[in-house]
Amino acid sequence: MRNAKILIVDDEPDLLELLKTTLVNNGYDVVTANDGLQGLEQVENENPDLILLDIKMPRMDGYTMLRELKKSEKTKHVPVIMLTVYDKMKDIFELEGVKGYMIKSSNDQEILAQIKKILEEQVG
């Protein structure tokens, strides 16, 4: 079975690298983007199994990217986990059809558990 491919879209280089390292060390293939426009290009080129998506970014924010993903037949089923520093956003994310969300200070095990759960739901 191939490794699941995860796209991380975030404009914070340190967080991007930390998440990428954690996921690669746990057997995932990882591609990254620094903003929503680059994220949409990566979705088109890489066909990720799951997207970790920051909200506040330059050029195109996470909400706009999410709306673009939901418009397309090809990408509307790709699960998205929103990355946020705000812990009161859960209801809004659920309305938008987001599979999960996590606070940027979440520990690695929480992040990995949420990713694993969502990917298993996709396969099941």
Which string of DSSP letters, residue by residue, matches 59-83?
Answer: SS-HHHHHHHHHH-TTTTTS-EEEE
DSSP classification of residue 55: S
Q: What amino acid is encoded at 16 in this protein?
A: L
CA separation for the pair 54, 25 (Å, rounded): 21
Reported as a single tens digit per residue, the pLDDT across 19-71 is 999 999 999 999 999 999 999 999 999 999 999 998 888 899 988 999 999 99
Reported as a single tens digit per residue, the pLDDT across 78-96 is 999 887 765 555 555 555 6
pLDDT exceeds cutoff 70 at 98: no
Which is more confident, 96 or 4? 4
Q: What pLDDT, on a 0 to 100 scale, did the predictor assign at position 44?
A: 94
Q: What is the CATH number of domain 5-123?
A: 3.40.50.2300
Q: Tokens 């090809």 map to which residue?
A: 74
Ordered by start, the domain boundaries in the chain are: 5-123
